Amino acid sequence: MFRKFYPCEYLDSAYQIEFDRMYQEGYRGIIFDVDNTLVPHGAPADERAKKLFVHLKELGYQCCLLSNNKEPRVKMFHDAVQVQYIFKAGKPKVSGYERAMELMGTDKSNTFFVGDQIFTDVYGANRAGIWTILTKPIHPKEEIQIVFKRYLERIVLFFYKRGK
């Protein structure tokens, strides 16, 4: 019942992903959520995020930020890391993920997604047919509509962990 919401991988942080290994396995594109995946909600790109994107580019990855947020928020992060971005993406609609792959010149066979929310990030990426990595939120302070969804996510994660 919940399988359409299950991530392919579940990690504590986006910064724990073995990007070098994923590249060796043939992945060439990464779609990232921004808020509470790479930095706390609304925060600018910090040094850790900047170093990550430098490393990803050195490896040869194409990257795209995919956010439901408005352009000023996403562009602020983009300006520090200089990758493609899509704002007001309408996640979990598949079209945003498809547009990101188009911008990066990748496809679902060599692209993966990294995000912190099950019902928008993971569900949408699963529907788009790409590998999904769910991360724990960076910071506990979130908007009220997200706090409500977190309670529902706990149920999905309970069954996800039980099935592993």
Ranges of residues in the chain whose predicted pLDDT is under 70: 1, 140-148, 164
Structural domain spans, the chain: 3-163
Which pLDDT belongs to residue 56? 98
Q: Find all residues with CB under 8 Å of 56, minimum gap 6, and list them.
A: 19, 30, 63
Which pLDDT belongs to residue 161? 84
Spatial distance between the Cα atoms of 103 and 106, rounded to a whole number of angstroms: 8
- 3-163 — its CATH code? 3.40.50.1000
Residue pLDDT, tens place only, 63-88? 999 999 999 999 999 999 999 999 99
Which pLDDT belongs to residue 149? 77
Which pLDDT belongs to residue 144? 60
